[in-house]
């Protein structure tokens, strides 16, 4: 018994000892770590890891540099300083301040001169497209004395010495240009530079102070706000117009069959091969399909590695287009150079590009926020890419995808778009404080259709009301286009004037006197509640009805022909409709276009149809901005055509607005049948009575379509009526009674 107890005590004491040792053992590493911490504090760390908020008497860092500035000012004159800059910062350190002569743009605005093409100089099709886009643009001038920017007629696109397109002796050819002036105010386009094996970004000639519009440009060589990064595009990239994006509708959920795809060459050796060679690590052949082929170039067999045969077999199994259309994300890894064709392909296909090209200055990075349309990855983190793209929320995918389409159509769909965007970016730099804001570039309808000379305030454009949380001003200005002399007091124009001026939304009526007869005396115009302004048209041409008159104080313009018959109610109703659709044309009589497959051209119809794609601007409400756009954006050739024919101005306006909005105009209901009846009744002078009139309009349409590069008009099936229109309810209940009364 005693022995038992003794054992018990011994045992318990032993147990305690073991426990003690155990805790002691725990203690040892702890104290060790303490020691380590102490060690660290010796080589710079302090005992505590936390940052402490030091209180008490700390000195301020004193941000004012008055004294210094005063001293500095004594030594340096600002003018001298500016002169010094242009001497110091040139070549690789060029900026607009130091390498660009703004004074050339002062007198004539932003004009671009293209050197005449020299005989015997070969030129690639792409470069020809670039030059013809410039020549067709409103910036073009044939007079070098007026020019602000100069573009060479020497093909600089392909500077790969191994390429058949390579232009030799560029150095001397450029130096011999008498306007070269060490490249000042010159713009050089380039798609490919350097050659195998290292593909440096060397152009092989001294471009002096010229700006580069270059594809695959690296951040190290890119001179910010001086060079322009352009996308790499192929020979068959359309010269103008171009295809629309492939996205036809927004699908929910937005996921497609594949998460991430890629199909392209793999470079076995040399620059740019690392990323593509590593792609197989993330390929899972289910929803992440990254296919590469070694089969390119002459001697691929020589360098071929163990995976080549397997890769090549997989590669041939999949159709690239099928993958492109059915994937949420598309990988765009660097090729030999930083940019690759995959980029534009993905963009057009609404496949969100996942960029793996470290150091690539993204195309038009100066103005485009790429985070809203692409995923910028890091080549070093290739293995994280699948989990990164999977973590992107479906709402983000929806918006990324739509943004790819917007950007594609706004800036990339054709050579013309790319060139114009490049020019507009430089134009913005010349405009300086009047340049476009980021929002104009990155939201619909894009920078090319938002002309900052019109206004630098976003709220003056019809596109951004919702984004800014504001509404258009609830008033309109009527512009009546008068072409016949005022002889009787019963002329339709007078009735129209009275009816329009009576509208509660009307603040001003402008009569544009485009008649050869002198202005009628003031008292001949009826008295109205709102001011009537008569403008004696100087040129008496058709396009002058769309001039951006300063005397239009409102956002909305009601454009009218002199023979239009409208009641106040109709005007009021149309205006309330316009307030819901301020970016579109809202009007009464509508017309339609169709593709005439027999004659292989566009047809115009004024017949009664179940749909329409234009509304006549003889009676339509639209935003004042379109006057500016019509006058400034459209080339003189189209406006000249309109003036010469005295016809088609309404078609051109519809083309323009639909090209901007990608949407049809809106037809509202009208009381009487307009024009169709008028054509018979009104004076013989009416242009509608002219038998050539219709044929002219048909040919106008085709000319316009060819300038726009595609047919911008869109059909609509509906008309907007007042809510109770023709409903079986007392007419007294209806707000717009007059529209129904005959």
Partner 1 sequence: QQCVNGPGAIMCASGKYSSRGPALIPRMKTKHRIYYITLFSVVLLGLIATGMFQFWPHSIESTADWGLDRRSVHDAPLIRLPVANPIPERGDLSCRMHTCFDVYRCGYNPKNRIKVYIYPLQRFVDEVGVPISSTGLSREYNDLLSAISDSEFYTDDVTRACLFVPSIDVLNQNSLRIRETAQALAMLPRWDKGMNHLLFNMLPGGPPDYNTALDVPRDRALLAGGGFSTWTYRQGYDVSIPVYSPLSADVELPERQPGPRRYFILSSQTAIHREYRAELERLKEENGEALLLLDKCSNLSQGVASARKRCYKGQVFDYPQILQESSFCVVLRGARLGQATLSDVLQAGCVPVILADSYILPFSEVLDWKRASVVIPEEKLPEMYTILKSIPHRQVEEMQRQARWFWDAYFSSMKAIGMTTLQIINDRIYPYAARTYEQWNNPPLVKWSSVNSPLFLPLIPPRSPGFTAVVLTYDRIESLFRVITEISKVPSLAKLLVVWNNQNKSPPEDSLWPKIAAPLKVVRTKENKLSNRFFPYDEIETEAVLAIDDDIIMLTSDELQFGYEVWREFPDRLVGYPGRLHLWDHEMGKWKYESEWTNEVSMVLTGAAFYHKYFNYLYTYKMPGDIKNWVDAHMNCEDIAMNFLVANITGKAPIKVTPRKKFKCPECTAIDGLSLDQTHMVERSECINKFASVFGTMPLKVVEHRADPVLYKDDFPEKLKSFPNIGSL
Binder among 420, 444, 510, 557 for partner 1 (CB under 8 A): 444
Does residue 466 bind partner 1 (CB under 8 A)? Answer: yes
* Cα–Cα distance measured from residue 96 to residue 328, given in angstroms and rounded to the nearest whole number: 40
Does residue 143 bind partner 1 (CB under 8 A)? Answer: no
Binder among 437, 631, 699, 702 for partner 1 (CB under 8 A): 437
Binder among 126, 340, 405, 477 for partner 1 (CB under 8 A): 405
Which CB sits closer to partner 1, 72 or 196? Answer: 72
Does residue 442 bind partner 1 (CB under 8 A)? Answer: yes
Give burial (CB, 10 Å; 0-12/13-18/19+) of 404. buried
Residues from 382 through 401 that contact partner 1 (CB under 8 A) = 384, 387-389, 391-392, 395-396, 398-399
Does residue 101 bind partner 1 (CB under 8 A)? Answer: no
Binder among 13, 310, 636, 689 for partner 1 (CB under 8 A): 13
Query: Considering the complex, what minimum distance in angstroms separates the CB of residue 564 from partner 1?
Result: 19
* Cα–Cα distance measured from residue 530 to residue 506, given in angstroms and rounded to the nearest whole number: 7
Binding mask 253-292 toward partner 1 (x if CB under 8 A, else -) reads x---------------------------------------
| 594, two tokens | 């169709």
Residues from 708 through 727 that contact partner 1 (CB under 8 A) = 714, 716-727
Which CB sits closer to partner 1, 137 or 455? Answer: 455
Query: Considering the complex, what minimum distance in angstroms separates the CB of residue 297 from partner 1?
Result: 28
8 Å CB contact between 585 and 518: no
Binder among 200, 673, 681, 683 for partner 1 (CB under 8 A): 673
Binder among 86, 90, 95, 300 for partner 1 (CB under 8 A): 95
Residues from 166 through 185 that contact partner 1 (CB under 8 A) = none
Does residue 72 bind partner 1 (CB under 8 A)? Answer: yes
Does residue 33 bind partner 1 (CB under 8 A)? Answer: no
Does residue 317 bind partner 1 (CB under 8 A)? Answer: no
**Residue 658 backbone zone (phi > 0: left; psi -120 to 50: alpha; other: beta):** alpha
Residue 667 DSSP one-character state: E
Does residue 732 bind partner 1 (CB under 8 A)? Answer: no
Residue 412 DSSP one-character state: I
Binder among 6, 281, 524, 599 for partner 1 (CB under 8 A): 6
Query: Considering the complex, what minimum distance in angstroms separates the CB of residue 115 from partner 1?
Result: 29
* Cα–Cα distance measured from residue 521 to residue 519, given in angstroms and rounded to the nearest whole number: 6
| C-beta neighbour count of 247 within 10 angstroms | 17
Query: Considering the complex, what minimum distance in angstroms separates the CB of residue 620 from partner 1?
Result: 16
Pairing of strands 586-587, 619-623: antiparallel
Does residue 309 bind partner 1 (CB under 8 A)? Answer: no
* Cα–Cα distance measured from residue 94 to residue 79, given in angstroms and rounded to the nearest whole number: 19
Which CB sits closer to partner 1, 73 or 118? Answer: 73
* Cα–Cα distance measured from residue 702 to residue 648, given in angstroms and rounded to the nearest whole number: 11
8 Å CB contact between 239 and 415: yes
| Closest to 212 (Cα-Cα) out of 252, 159, 281, 264 | 159
Q: In which residue are the tokens 């191994």 written?
A: 162
Query: Considering the complex, what minimum distance in angstroms separates the CB of residue 35 from partner 1?
Result: 13
Give burial (CB, 10 Å; 0-12/13-18/19+) of 741. exposed
Query: Considering the complex, what minimum distance in angstroms separates the CB of residue 645 from partner 1?
Result: 28
Pick the piece of the chain touching partner 1 (CB under 8 A) from 79-87, 204-212, 260-268, 522-530. Answer: 79-87
Query: Considering the complex, what minimum distance in angstroms separates the CB of residue 366 from partner 1?
Result: 10
Query: Which string of b and e fits 274-304 if b means at least 16 CB within 10 Å?
Result: ebbbbbeebbeeebbbbbbbbbeeeebeeee
| Closest to 635 (Cα-Cα) out of 239, 135, 153, 105 | 135
Binder among 109, 144, 238, 459 for partner 1 (CB under 8 A): 459
Does residue 483 bind partner 1 (CB under 8 A)? Answer: no
Mapped onto helix, strand or coil, the DSSP state of residue 212 is strand
Does residue 146 bind partner 1 (CB under 8 A)? Answer: no
Which CB sits closer to partner 1, 89 or 688? Answer: 89
Mapped onto helix, strand or coil, the DSSP state of residue 167 is coil
| 446, two tokens | 């894009």
Binder among 439, 494, 498, 679 for partner 1 (CB under 8 A): 439
| 457, two tokens | 């305030």
Does residue 77 bind partner 1 (CB under 8 A)? Answer: yes
Query: Considering the complex, what minimum distance in angstroms separates the CB of residue 129 from partner 1?
Result: 27
| 270, two tokens | 């040399």
Does residue 78 bind partner 1 (CB under 8 A)? Answer: yes
Which CB sits closer to partner 1, 22 or 694? Answer: 22
Residues from 200 through 229 that contact partner 1 (CB under 8 A) = 219-220, 224-225
Q: In which residue are the tokens 């002036």 written?
A: 181
Specify which residues 716 forms β-bridges with.
612
Query: Concatenated DSSP letters for 334-399?
Result: --SSS--THHHHHHHTT-EEEEE-TTB--TTTTT--GGGT-EE--GGGGGGHHHHHHTS-HHHHHH
Distance from the Cα of residue 225 to its chain's centroid: 18
Does residue 107 bind partner 1 (CB under 8 A)? Answer: no
| Closest to 687 (Cα-Cα) out of 516, 529, 526, 562 | 562
Query: Considering the complex, what minimum distance in angstroms separates the CB of residue 329 from partner 1?
Result: 11
Query: Considering the complex, what minimum distance in angstroms separates the CB of residue 370 from partner 1?
Result: 8
Which CB sits closer to partner 1, 136 or 398? Answer: 398
Binding mask 340-379 toward partner 1 (x if CB under 8 A, else -) reads ------------------xx---------x-xx--xx-xx
Query: Considering the complex, what minimum distance in angstroms separates the CB of residue 669 from partner 1?
Result: 8
Pick the piece of the chain touching partner 1 (CB under 8 A) from 82-90, 500-508, 514-522, 683-691. Answer: 82-90
Does residue 326 bind partner 1 (CB under 8 A)? Answer: no
Binder among 125, 611, 690, 738 for partner 1 (CB under 8 A): 611
Which CB sits closer to partner 1, 367 or 486? Answer: 367
Query: Considering the complex, what minimum distance in angstroms separates the CB of residue 204 from partner 1?
Result: 22
Handedness of CA 353, 357, 363, 367 (dihedral sign): positive
Residues from 34 through 53 that contact partner 1 (CB under 8 A) = 34, 40-41, 43-53
| C-beta neighbour count of 361 within 10 angstroms | 23
Q: How many residues bind partner 1 (CB under 8 A)?
A: 152
Specify which residues 186 forms β-bridges with.
150
Which CB sits closer to partner 1, 451 or 668? Answer: 668
Pick the piece of the chain touching partner 1 (CB under 8 A) from 72-80, 116-124, 155-163, 536-544. Answer: 72-80
Cite the DSSP H helix spans in 550-687: 568-580, 625-633, 636-645, 649-661, 678-681
Query: Considering the complex, what minimum distance in angstroms separates the CB of residue 131 from partner 1?
Result: 31
Query: Considering the complex, what minimum distance in angstroms separates the CB of residue 463 from partner 1?
Result: 11
Which CB sits closer to partner 1, 254 or 537? Answer: 254
| 707, two tokens | 């300038």
Does residue 120 bind partner 1 (CB under 8 A)? Answer: no
Which CB sits closer to partner 1, 6 or 122? Answer: 6
Binder among 667, 675, 693, 697 for partner 1 (CB under 8 A): 667
8 Å CB contact between 275 and 379: yes
Query: Concatenated DSSP letters for 424-492?
Result: HHHHHHHHGGGSPPHHHHHSTT-GGG--TTT-S-GGGSTT-HHHHT----S-EEEEEEE-S----TT-H
């Amino acid at each position: 018994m005693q022995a038992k107890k003794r054992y018990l005590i011994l045992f318990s004491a032993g147990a305690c000892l073991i426990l003690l040792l155990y805790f002691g053992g725990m203690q040892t590493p702890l104290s060790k770590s303490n020691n380590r911490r102490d060690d660290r504090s010796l080589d710079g760390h302090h005992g505590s890891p936390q940052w402490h908020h030091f209180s008490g008497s700390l000195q301020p860092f004193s941000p004012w540099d008055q004294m210094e500035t005063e001293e500095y000012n004594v030594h340096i004159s600002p003018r001298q300083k500016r002169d010094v800059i242009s001497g110091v910062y040139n070549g690789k350190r060029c900026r607009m301040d130091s390498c660009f002569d703004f004074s050339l743009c002062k007198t004539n605005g932003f004009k671009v001169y293209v050197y005449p093409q020299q005989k015997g100089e070969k030129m690639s099709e792409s470069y020809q497209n670039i030059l013809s886009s410039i020549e067709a643009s409103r910036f073009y001038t044939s007079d070098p004395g007026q020019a602000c920017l100069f573009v060479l007629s020497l093909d600089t696109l392909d500077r790969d010495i191994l390429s058949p397109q390579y232009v030799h002796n560029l150095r001397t050819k450029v130096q011999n240009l008498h306007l070269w002036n060490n490249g000042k105010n010159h713009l050089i386009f380039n798609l490919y530079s350097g050659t195998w094996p290292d593909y440096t970004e060397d152009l092989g000639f001294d471009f002096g102070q010229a700006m580069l519009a270059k594809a695959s440009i690296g951040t190290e060589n890119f001179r910010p706000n001086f060079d322009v990064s352009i996308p790499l595009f192929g020979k068959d990239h359309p010269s103008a117009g171009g295809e629309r994006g492939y996205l036809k509708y927004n699908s929910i959920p937005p996921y497609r069959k594949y998460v991430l795809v890629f199909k392209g060459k793999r470079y076995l050796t040399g620059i740019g091969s690392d990323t593509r060679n590593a792609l197989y690590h993330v390929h899972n052949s289910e929803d992440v399909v990254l296919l590469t082929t070694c089969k390119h170039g002459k001697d691929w067999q020589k360098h071929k590695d163990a995976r080549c045969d397997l890769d090549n077999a997989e590669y041939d199994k999949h159709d690239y287009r099928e993958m492109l259309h059915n994937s949420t994300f598309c990988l765009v890894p660097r090729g030999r150079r930083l940019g690759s064709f995959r980029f534009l392909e993905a963009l057009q296909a609404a496949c969100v590009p996942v960029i793996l090209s470290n150091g690539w200055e993204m195309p038009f990075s100066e103005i485009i926020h790429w985070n809203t349309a692409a995923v910028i990855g890091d080549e070093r983190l290739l293995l994280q890419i699948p989990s990164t793209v999977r973590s992107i929320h479906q709402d983000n995918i929806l918006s990324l995808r739509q943004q790819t389409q917007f950007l594609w159509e706004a800036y990339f769909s054709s050579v013309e778009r790319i060139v114009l965007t490049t020019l507009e970016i430089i134009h913005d730099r010349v405009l300086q404080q009047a340049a476009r804001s980021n929002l104009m570039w990155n939201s619909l309808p894009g920078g090319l259709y938002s002309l900052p000379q019109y206004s630098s305030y976003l709220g003056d454009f019809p596109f951004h009301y919702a984004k800014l949380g504001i509404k258009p001003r609830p008033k309109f200005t009527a512009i009546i286009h008068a072409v016949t002399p005022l002889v009787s007091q019963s002329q339709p124009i007078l009735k129209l004037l009275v009816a329009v001026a009576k509208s509660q939304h009307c603040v001003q009526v402008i009569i544009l006197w485009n008649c050869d007869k002198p202005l009628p005396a003031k008292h001949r115009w009826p008295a109205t509640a709102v001011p009537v302004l008569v403008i004696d048209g100087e040129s008496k041409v058709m396009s002058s009805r769309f001039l951006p008159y300063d005397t239009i104080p409102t956002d909305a313009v009601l454009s009218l022909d002199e023979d239009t018959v409208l009641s106040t109610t109709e005007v009021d109703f149309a205006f309330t409709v316009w307030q819901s659709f301020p970016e579109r044309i809202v009007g009464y009589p509508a017309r339609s276009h169709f593709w005439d497959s027999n004659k292989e051209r566009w047809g115009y119809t004024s017949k009664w149809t179940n749909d329409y794609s234009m509304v006549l601007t003889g009676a339509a409400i639209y935003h004042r901005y379109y006057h500016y756009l019509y006058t400034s954006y459209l080339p003189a050739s189209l406006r000249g055509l309109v003036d010469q024919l005295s016809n088609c101005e309404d078609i051109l306006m519809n083309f323009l607005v639909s090209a901007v909005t990608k949407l049809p105009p809106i037809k509202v209901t009208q009381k009487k049948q307009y024009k169709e009846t008028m054509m018979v009744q009104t004076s013989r002078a009416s242009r509608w009575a002219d038998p050539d009139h219709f044929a002219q309009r048909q040919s106008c349409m085709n000319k316009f379509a060819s300038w726009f590069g595609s047919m911008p008009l869109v059909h609509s099936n509906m008309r907007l009526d007042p809510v109770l229109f023709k409903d079986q309810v007392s007419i007294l209940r209806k707000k717009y009674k007059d529209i129904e009364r005959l």
